[in-house]
Amino acid sequence: MHADATTRHGDALGTVGELAEAWGLRERLERAIQSPRAQRQGLLAPHAVREALDCVVEISQRAKTLAGAAYTEQRRIVLNAQLLHAGREPDRNSTFLHECAHILADLTHGKACRHGRAWREVMSLLGEPAEVGHRLEYLSRKAHARISWVCVACGRKHYFIRQPRRRIQDCYCRRCGPDDGQLRHVPLDSKPVGPDMED
């Protein structure tokens, strides 16, 4: 995720360069930087690489469903604390590289590239699929839900991390529409009636 500069700072883990070394990703970064394609097509500016390696990486204890965020203007990356648990190294590494790609693309082009072509090119150089979003169960809305509603027509559950602003009677299942998609509250520990849906 590419983000603006309106979030709180978390606990610092180190710089991109230090963590890339510690997590065994330094070689992948260097290979991307030195690739003939990157140099020939100008995909990575030398100043962008130097600045990206000095960016601070922080950990967020507050993030629920957000895996990571890049703040290019502040030269920092934030990772969800749950990514640092043992056994989650592949998720941590791919999120880290995803956010590094944002920093590299933004600094190279002097603007926010978001998930556009420049960012996808950097992801390709890093050997990562250019995917937006994640499918990490432990960072899902379902895993952190405080409230769940179910559609009486199709049985799909809708999970909410915070109290919804609207009353349940003013809402409906998007799939079934306002006529058939009436919702009702269900306890979080109840078994699903149909396929799960995260809203």
Which pLDDT does position 188 carry in this prediction? 85
* Other C-beta atoms lying within 10 Å of the C-beta of residue 64: 15
Write down the pLDDT at residue 6: 41
Count the residues in the chain: 199
pLDDT of residue 119: 97
Q: Could you give the residue ranges of the DSSP H alpha helices within the chain?
A: 16-22, 26-34, 36-41, 46-53, 89-109, 117-125, 141-144, 177-180
The strand pairing partners of 160, in sequence order, are: 147
Euclidean distance between CA atoms 76 and 134, whole angstroms? 20
Which of 136, 130, 103 has the alpha carbon at shortest distance from 29? 103
> Quick one: pLDDT at residue 1?
54
The structure's pTM equals: 0.80
Predicted confidence at residue 9, as pLDDT, reads 72
Average pLDDT per block of 10 residues along the chain, 199 residues long: 52 96 96 91 92 97 94 97 97 98 97 97 96 92 90 94 92 95 87 46
Nearest to 127 by CA among 87, 88, 100: 100
Place of tokens 């590419």: 2
Residue 8 is predicted with a pLDDT of 57
Largest CA distance in the chain: 59
Residue 145 and residue 70: Cα distance in Å, rounded?
25
- What region, left, alpha or beta, does residue 49 occupy, with left being phi > 0 and alpha being psi -120 to 50 degrees? alpha
The residue extents of the domains of the chain are 11-138, 140-197
Which CATH number is correct for 11-138, 3.30.2010, 2.60.40, 3.40.50, 1.10.490? 3.30.2010
